[in-house]
Structure 1
Amino acid sequence: MVTYRIEIADAHAHLFAVTVTVPQPAAEQQVSLPAWIPGSYLVREFARHLSGMSARQGDRDVPLQQIDKATWVARCTGRAALTLTYKVYAFDSSVRAAYLDAQRAFFNGTGVFVRVHGREAEPQRMELKGLPKGWKAATALPSVKVDARGQGTYEAADYDELVDHPVELGDFWRGEFKAAGVPHEFVVAGALPDFDGERLLADARRICETVIAFWHGKKKTFLKRYVFLLNAVDDGYGGLEHRASTALIAARRDLPQRSRRDAKDLSDGYVTLLGLISHEYFHTWNVKRLRPSEFTRYDYTQENYTELLWFFEGFTSYYDDLLLLRAGLIDEPRYLKLVAKTLSGVLGMPGRHVQSVAQASFDAWVKYYRADENTPNSTISYYTKGSLVALALDLTLRHEGRGSLDDVMRLLWERSGGGPVGEGDIAAALAEVGGRSYEKELQAWVHGTDDPPWRLQLARAAVEWGQQAPTVAQRLGLRVSESALTGIKVTHVLRAGAGEAAGLAAGDEVLGVDGWRVRRLDELPRLLPERGAMQLLVSRDQRLRTLTLSLPPAPEAGAVSLTLAGADKTPPAAMALRRAWLTT
């Protein structure tokens, strides 16, 4: 079988050495490195980090030609094994690529293992050798023969499986638990000394058991083993799902601390981390197995388009926090606070009237991962609005009394056998559970730019909608960074707002108003107690400009707040709907 040996060539230079052995190669054997990694929809050009490739058969050099940005041809003679060697520069600390220094290493196969054309469906072997003293290896890739540190041989059924198992290397913390009888492992690199690993394991177990029960009830799950790989950093957040593992990154300060053992003491940062764990674990079902029909087979050389990320990412985003509630890790007010934050973010995006979530999914390759100053005006997130489409469909189904979105998800799983689905399958499952067609809602909320009637739907579930007073930035249609030391810098100018009308642009520094130096936008109303027009002094590209800005009356445009309606003023049906929604 094709064998990949990966070693540390030079930790200080951040270089891996990779040796690929191809038995019985083709006469013109092509190999290529993927251009992207499934789950992160951007062409990342991993080949830019590969260098020094050479080829041999026995003691004979083999002519090697690069034919495009990421593809090479080895012109072989006879059937003797082809050996390729190359280096990979690894200094990307995200969850998507590869990283190596003297303290830690991490890699995804898409960034380090070339694909041997014509041999992708065959078993593939990975060999880990020569780990530094004190280092260990962690991965969900099935092992064949490894030592206590994880050095040795691993085997995958095919190339897709090989590159779908990230590997963590270093002197990390490791803990284990079982959820629904399935062994789970949690690996944490870079944590502070007061990190409470036992708390993290206990909370992760509750999440995993809740997710497994969501999909399978009391039936046995297909999972055999699962591994969480968490890299704790000074400042960072993110995750990437894989078939039997996930790679996570989080700020050290957001991990649980032994000095704060109170079960009710959950910081916002730790709740965010738990939501990330829930999100990526839910993906084990929704996107890794139940997945867009366009992803039946990945094309690693180019973009793989789908309009369904509103479902696979958005619906996963809906369930990640909801399942924290059902697992008993947060209470109902905390959950509603998270929903309100999402609502506020979506309602504050003018781009939701420009781009549908289906279009946002298709355009992910050029827009979602390349946000700029105009992003809020031209796009919408298929994560956030997708999650609110899920909320709207769930509350609609429950109000109509025929079922719930939970039932839809499980029906899709059963009907597809945990495999690829298209939008027609989703629409059919909604219709079967709800007893009617939901095409009108899908056209308006998914393919159109209409807002679902969230306020009405939440009221039917005994949840009261409130609106906080808008900030000055919201009244002006601006997003800014500001502090007493650095002053005010405009980052985004929202469409049709007062800031745009005045001529403000992203990058402008706001220096003063009517002769007064200002360092925070909230100072503006104090300077203009009786009138709304002001002369704004700004700096753009080191040139001073004076702009006339009108501070509009405060509209009802502040952040959304959601609260539980009391039973004394709520119909019993609404209370029953809320209980069912939040608990089952």
Structure 2
Amino acid sequence: MPRPPQKTPASPVHYRVEIGDLHAHLFRVTLTIAQPAALQRVSLPVWIPGSYLVREFARNLQGLQAHQGARTPAPFEQLDKCSWQIQCNPAKPLVLRYEVYAHDNSVRTAWLDAQRGFFNGTSLCLKVEGLEKSSHTLELPAPATVAGWSVATGLTAQTVNRQGFGRYAAADYDELVDCPVEMGPFWSGSFSVRGVPHRLVVAGAMPSFNGARLLADTQKICETEIHFWHGSKKPPFKNYLFMLNAVDDGYGGLEHRNSTALICHRKDLPRVGEHKASDGNTTLRGLISHEYFHTWNVKRLRPSEFESYQYERENYTELLWFFEGFTSYYDDLLLRRAGLLDNAAYLKLLNKTINQVMQTPGRLVQSVAQASFDAWVKYYRPDENTPNATVSYYTKGALVALCLDLTLRAEGRATHGKTLDDVMRALWLRCKAGPLREADVAHTLAALGGRSFAPELARWVHGLDELPVKALLLKHGVAVLEDPAQLAHRLGLRVSEGQGVHIKAVLRGGAAERAGLAAGDEWLGLEPATQAETKRSGGWRMSRLDDLTLYAGAAKKITALVSRDKRLLRLTLTMPPLLTTWRLAVHDAALVDQWLGPQD
């Protein structure tokens, strides 16, 4: 039986979030400030921690009203794109009412329709300046317009009904906006690890969804990661919540202090009667592993620049290669240790990461530390030149972690068997109560590795040197084979195919760039390079890129027929030499097991 409602002391800052209009996608918010300042400022964040882009959440806020007393409007003015100032009588509570348009079906903002509601506090909850460190409460009244809905959130429940609607508490504004809210008729399951309750909710699942299997897989991941960080001890949170939104086309996740919001392709969910995990299901497991690892690495171990979030502007750091890159190294590695991958499957995933980095010309232009700093203007704002100008701090950062781990293992006698696992745990003990700096990483590597790793950090993190991935893999029993590269890679192209061949990006220094092809072109077909050959065989229409080798045959040069801005162009393309990509394979199973197998 649900507990009867109890009176709860009013908090200094209280939000009431109601479903305003399902079909107009509007949340209705009432913010009550018990003791406002004479000139009270409020503001809405422009970004959400974990997603490094100014998203301008205030563009979705509308109809702001301010009152002190039932009929006494409080004068206010807008100061900038996301801030307002209200003239108040400090002896009376200030009440602000407004609506927020919620129609972004991602993990970063807010969504509301007749099937589901979801929001991050950064999208809905105005920050009350001067009271950020005070206690906050959030009230979620049961909706009258829909039936069968429940609530899931990492916030602490004060007075809630069986479905989770009611009143929640947060110690401060940071905690309030770090606990997103899921509402709807979702599937729900739970398990416990070391006495800590974990809950998994899934919205949008198909009838064939195998919830028991996803729950079991998620439990294995959590058990493995808690053991990684703490051995037999408990983790630093009292409960944990996974919120998974299954959609027709989508992928991503956003970490929070005791929860994560995830989005995946519906087809990637495990299905009843399916005995082997699909590639898509493996991708979903990796996403779950990645976001859960962030519970330690970025939410508690965090860069010094994130010690106190500045919600109204960018927060720069050069350390995303560590916080995102090292997490990307461990997400699949810990799937292997959890028994959810075998060695061959793990190496296939690692192989993909290696080839992604090697096929990105931007790795020779921008260091991974600079890529971290530039995330706000480059990684989260990709365009056709992105692969030429920058490198992903996720993928290259993962390879930096790989190289450090394999180097430590290769120097095992000097390091007394220490690995990157030990470095991560030592950093946890060193920095869990405070910010982490690159100097902490360097110090810990030196302390456990028996020597300075400053040269490696200078070359691999701050420089443009190629990483010694191949040599290190060979030392650990992994053979590096070479296969013919796909045609797009040989040409230096990234394309989309379907209704013709459309060029998305032209990679620096490739044959396509030398021929003059450009992003946005539609590659219609080809002709032989000489007029005589054209008269003899004519030209060919291409419906996919592989048609090039079919119709060009052994020709060294061809004429590419291209449509650009409704103009037809003939561009001379010199066919490139054969290129290769890597394929990893187990060469020495015992050595591979020492690296990938269960660790003490």
TM-score w.r.t. length of structure 2: 0.94
**1:512 is paired with a residue of what secondary structure?**
strand
In the TM superposition, residue 446 of structure 1 has moved relative to its aligned partner by 0.3
Q: Quote the offset at 1:582 in angstroms.
A: 3.6
Change (3 A) 1:406 1:425: same
* Cα separation, 2, equivalents of 1:67 and 1:225: 40
SS at match of 1:137: strand
Alignment partner of 1:506 out of 502, 519, 544: 519
State the shift of 1:576 in Å: 4.2
Hey, what's the Cα distance between the residues in 2 that align with 1:170 and 1:6?
15
Q: Distance in 2 between matches of 1:24 and 1:166?
A: 26
| 2:141–2:165 CA contact under 8 A, matched in 1 | yes
Correspondence for 1:357? 368
Amino acid across the alignment from 1:43? V
After TM superposition, the structure 1 stretch with the greater mean CA deviation from structure 2, 119-128 or 473-482, is: 473-482
State how 1:426-575 maps to structure 2 within 5 Å.
Answer: 426-483=441-498, 486-514=499-527, 515-556=539-580, 558=581, 560-566=582-588, 575=590
**Residue 223 of structure 1 pairs with residue 245 of structure 2:** no
**Residue 88 (structure 2) aligns with:** 76
Gaps of 5+ in 2: 1-11, 528-538
| Residue of structure 2 in register with 1:297 after alignment | 308
Distance 1:528 1:13 in 2: 54
Rounded to whole Å, the distance in 1 between the matches of 2:395 and 2:502 is 26
Match for residue 59 of structure 2?
A: 48
DSSP-derived class of the 1:150 partner: coil
**1:375 aligned to which of 369, 373, 386:** 386
SS in 1 for 2:79: strand
Q: 1:65-144, aligned counterparts within 5 Å?
A: 65-131=77-143, 132-144=146-158
Matched, 1:412 2:433: no
Cα deviations across residues 474-501 of structure 1 (Å, max 9, x unaligned)? 1111111123xx1211111000111000
**Mapping of 1:256-271 within 5 angstroms?**
256-260=270-274, 262=275, 265-271=276-282
Query: What residue in structure 1 maps to residue 263 of structure 2?
Result: 249
SS of 2:496's equivalent?
strand
Q: Deviations over 1:269-296 (max 9, x none)?
A: 0000000000000000000000101100
State the distance in 1 between where 2:595 and 2:479 align.
17
**Percent of residue pairs identical:** 59
Q: Equivalences for 1:339-354 in 2 at 5 Å?
A: 339-354=350-365
C-alpha contact (below 8 Å) 1:398/1:577 kept by paired residues: no
**Preserved CA contact (<8 Å) 1:278 1:320:** yes
Q: What does residue 8 of structure 2 align with?
A: none
1:214 aligns with 2:228: yes
Report the CA distance between 1:581 and its aligned residue. 4.2
> Secondary structure of 1:53's match?
strand
- Check the 8 A contact 2:155/2:176 in 1, yes or no: yes
Shift of 1:577: 6.5
Q: CA deviation at 1:319?
A: 0.1
- Is the 8 Å Cα contact of residues 533 and 550 (structure 1) preserved in structure 2? yes
- 1:3 is matched with 14
**Conserved in 2, the CA contact under 8 Å of 1:461 and 1:578?**
no
1:147-193 CA-partner distances (Å, limit 9, x unpaired): 00111110000000000000000111100011222100000000001
Shift of residue 52 of structure 1?
0.8
Residue 578 (structure 1) shift: 4.5
Instruction: Give the distance between the partners of 2:408 and 2:333, measured in 1 at CA.
Output: 17
Q: Is the 8 A contact 2:43 2:82 kept in 1?
A: yes
2:171 partner letter: A
User: By how many angstroms is 1:143 displaced?
Assistant: 0.4
Match of 1:204 among 218, 226, 236: 218
1:381-439 superposed Cα distances (whole Å, 9 cap, x missing partner): 00000000000000000100111100000000001135311000010011111010001
Deviation at 1:530, TM superposition (A): 3.1
Letter of the 1:488 counterpart: V
Equivalent AA in structure 2 for residue 294 of structure 1: E
State the distance in 2 between where 1:84 and 1:529 align. 71
Aligned-pair RMSD on alpha carbons?
1.0
2:33 aligns with one of 15, 22, 35: 22
Q: Is the 8 A contact 2:229 2:425 kept in 1?
A: yes
Distance (Å, rounded) in 2 between the aligned partners of 1:169 and 1:100 = 9
- The letter of the residue matching 1:452 is L
Q: Report if the CA contact (8 A) 1:227-1:246 is conserved.
A: yes
What are the Cα deviations for residues 250-270 of structure 1, in whole angstroms up to 9, with x where unaligned? 01100000121x2xx010000
Q: Is the contact between residue 2 and residue 22 of structure 1 (CA under 8 Å) also seen in structure 2? A: yes
The separation in 1 between residues aligned to 2:522 and 2:591, in whole angstroms, is 52
| 1:79 Cα deviation from its structure 2 partner | 1.2
Paired amino acid for 1:186: L
Q: Distance in 2 between matches of 1:215 and 1:115?
A: 34
CA distance in 2, matches of 1:185, 1:495: 47
Q: Which amino acid aligns with 1:476?
A: L
3-state SS, counterpart of residue 197 of structure 2: strand
Q: 1:82-127 CA deviation, whole Å, 9 max, x = no partner? A: 0010000000100000000111100000000000000000100000
SS in 1 for 2:546: helix
- Letter of the structure 1 residue corresponding to residue 458 of structure 2: Q
d(CA) in 1 for partners of 2:358 and 2:598?
Answer: 27
For 2:525 and 2:120, locate their aligned partners in 1 and report how far apart those are by CA, in whole Å: 50
**C-alpha distance in 2, partners of 1:91/1:517?**
41
Letter in 2 for 1:211: E
Instruction: Choose which of 568, 574, 579 in structure 1 pairs with 2:594.
Output: 579
1:522: how far off? Answer: 1.6
How many positions carry a matched residue from both structures? 570
Q: Shift in Å at residue 525 of structure 1?
A: 2.4
Instruction: Report how far residue 579 of structure 1 moved.
Output: 1.4
Distance 1:5 1:172 in 2: 22
* Aligned residue identity for 1:142: T
**Which of 288, 293, 298 is matched with 1:282 structurally?**
293
Mean Cα deviation higher: 414-423 or 308-317: 414-423
Structure 1 unaligned segments of length 5 or more: list them: 568-574
Determine helix, strand or coil for the equivalent of 2:484.
coil
* Equivalent in the alignment of 1:63: 75
Shift of 1:561: 1.0
Partners of 2:32 and 2:317 lie apart in 1 by 35
- Which is worse superposed, 332-341 or 219-228? 219-228
Secondary structure at 1:313 match in 2 = helix
Once the two structures are superposed, residues 321-341 of structure 1 have per-residue CA deviations (whole angstroms, 9 ceiling, x without a partner) of 000000001100000000000
